[in-house]
Amino acid sequence: MCSRCLELTRRSLLAGGAATAAALHAGVAQARVRPQDMVPLVGPGFKPTERDEIGLWKEMDRVEEEISGTNLLITDRNITGYLRDLIGTVGGPAAKDFRIYLARIPEFNAMMFPTGFAVVFSGLLLRMRNEAQLAGVIAHESGHFLRRHMIRSWRDQKRKTDLFAIGAMLAGVGGAGAGVYLGDYVQLAQLGTILSLFQYSRAMEAEADSMGARLIADTGYPPVEMANIWEQLIGEENASARYRGKHRRKGSIFDTHPSEGSRMADLRADAAEITVPGKVYDAHRDRYLTNIGPIRPMLLDDQVKLNDPGASQYLIETLAQDGWNGLLRFYEGEVWRLRNRPGDEQRAAQSYAAAVAYPDAPAEAWRSHGIELMKQGRSAEAKSAFRRYLTIKPDAPDAAWVRSMAG
């Protein structure tokens, strides 16, 4: 995009860079947006009235039709109803207007579209430790809508590309009139325009974070949980990178979002600012676990199959901070088994053995435990484990094979 910038001399780059920075009124660092300044800009039942926004909404009709009908969606009524209730609680004035879709994608992500429908990835539900954290992400996305970020960024882009086009043309025509070549500066201005667009995007994200913290605090969730999400994500990315012998990617001036570290720090400051002493906040961990319980095995299964043992192990251990159980121990074993480094089979065997000691051990834990016992020559115990598997899952696709093993 900017390979020719290298042709610039150092001096002209510095001079031009200073001019660009001055023109943009800001450097890379982002000032924290204070929650009390985050007032919703739309009310209930918002419909666009301006031409460009009407056009934007129109384009989204088919996008929503496409997304709401994709077979990637998890359509289980209990879990989708739970998400709808949540956005209905923390969605501020537009709470009743939002639509929310859950896509089966094992990644940490959620997004809001200009017309007020949100898509949450299933990987988010795996990572959240309580309802307050999930509510925080949903409130952040609601914040994008409530602060009208999509149309504001569109207008920002339009204004800046217009200015750039006019400026570039004037530089060409004016330069030709004056007999100087201003092409290098036009390139620099282009870089400045692009950087300023990214910066605007980061400012919007900072607003959504603050708005989100305010929304969940107003509905009685501890706002500090939003900062905790970032602490967990940084930990996960560090663990994933360490395993691959790499370093976690830090923020850059080409990012659309502020760096995770600065989001965490800002959200901690926000939380301290808006937490009312004496008020009772509840993160609703039990309610969260009850609601996502039925799909948690699927979420864990999708995660361990990503072949990212560093992240998977970190996630399981983070969730286990709230207490180990049979499900988490089984998937811990799966991480080792799939990683398959020296010693991993013993580790996996230990995890399976630990898993079956819990009453909630999934059927597959008994099968894996049985296989490990069989390999160790403890066939009587193995057979009893296989029988246990068949008792829990008599119609399992591999039932015939396991039955033959169970003797």
Minimum CB distance to another protein smaller for 37 or for 76: 76
Does 49 sit near another protein (CB under 8 A)?
Answer: no
* DSSP secondary structure code for residue 100 in this structure: E
Does 10 sit near another protein (CB under 8 A)?
Answer: no
Phi, psi values for residue 99, rounded to 5°: -120, 145
Phi, psi values for residue 118, rounded to 5°: -115, 150
Of the candidates 44, 55, 293, 407, which one interacts with another protein according to CB under 8 A? 55
Minimum CB distance to another protein smaller for 39 or for 163: 163
Q: How far is the CB of 165 from another protein (least distance, A)?
A: 4
Residue 238 contacts residue 248 (beta carbons within 8 Å) = yes
Does 343 sit near another protein (CB under 8 A)?
Answer: no
Minimum CB distance to another protein smaller for 8 or for 56: 56
Of the candidates 76, 85, 162, 398, which one interacts with another protein according to CB under 8 A? 162
Residue 230 contacts residue 54 (beta carbons within 8 Å) = no
Of the candidates 9, 25, 45, 66, which one interacts with another protein according to CB under 8 A? 66
Does 175 sit near another protein (CB under 8 A)?
Answer: yes
Does 180 sit near another protein (CB under 8 A)?
Answer: no
CA distances from 337 to 22, 40, 304, 345, 372 (A): 56, 49, 10, 6, 11
Q: Which long-range contacts (CB under 8 A, 24 or more apart) does 384-389 make?
A: 385/356, 388/356, 389/363, 389/364
Instruction: Determine the interface stretch with another protein among 15-23, 101-109, 162-170, 336-344 (rule: CB under 8 A).
Output: 162-170
Q: In what order do the strands lie in the sheet with 110-112?
A: 99-103, 117-121, 110-112
Q: Report the phi/psi class of residue 300: left, alpha or beta, with left for phi > 0 and alpha for psi in -120 to 50.
A: alpha
Does 50 sit near another protein (CB under 8 A)?
Answer: no
Instruction: Determine the interface stretch with another protein among 9-17, 61-69, 195-203, 384-392 (rule: CB under 8 A).
Output: 61-69
CA–CA distance, 41 with 23 (Å, rounded to integer): 28
Q: How many residues bind another protein (CB under 8 A)?
A: 30
Minimum CB distance to another protein smaller for 56 or for 374: 56
* Residues comprising the chain, all counted: 407
- Estimate the crossing angle of helix 77-90 against helix 131-146, to 10 degrees: 60
- Helix spans in 179-307 (H): 183-218, 224-243, 260-274, 285-292, 296-304
Of the candidates 7, 37, 44, 58, which one interacts with another protein according to CB under 8 A? 58
Minimum CB distance to another protein smaller for 69 or for 377: 69
* DSSP secondary structure code for residue 73 in this structure: B
CA–CA distance, 206 with 199 (Å, rounded to integer): 11
Minimum CB distance to another protein smaller for 164 or for 324: 164
Instruction: Determine the interface stretch with another protein among 29-37, 100-108, 157-165, 272-280 (rule: CB under 8 A).
Output: 157-165
CA–CA distance, 235 with 267 (Å, rounded to integer): 17
Instruction: Determine the interface stretch with another protein among 174-182, 234-242, 251-259, 371-379 (rule: CB under 8 A).
Output: 174-182
- Cβ contacts of 85 within 8 Å, gap of 6 or more: none
CA distances from 166 to 2, 249, 263, 283 (A): 20, 36, 36, 52
Does 69 sit near another protein (CB under 8 A)?
Answer: yes
Minimum CB distance to another protein smaller for 2 or for 166: 166
Does 407 sit near another protein (CB under 8 A)?
Answer: no
Of the candidates 4, 158, 246, 375, which one interacts with another protein according to CB under 8 A? 158
Q: How far is the CB of 68 from another protein (least distance, A)?
A: 10
Minimum CB distance to another protein smaller for 52 or for 286: 52
Instruction: Determine the interface stretch with another protein among 50-58, 124-132, 235-243, 350-358 (rule: CB under 8 A).
Output: 50-58
Burial class of 31 by CB neighbour count within 10 A (0 to 12, 13 to 18, 19+)? exposed
Does 152 sit near another protein (CB under 8 A)?
Answer: no
Minimum CB distance to another protein smaller for 54 or for 320: 54
Does 45 sit near another protein (CB under 8 A)?
Answer: no
Nearest to 202 by CA among 166, 281, 253, 256: 256
For another protein, the binding residues (CB under 8 A) are 51-52, 54-60, 62-63, 65-66, 69, 157-158, 160-166, 169-170, 172-173, 175-177
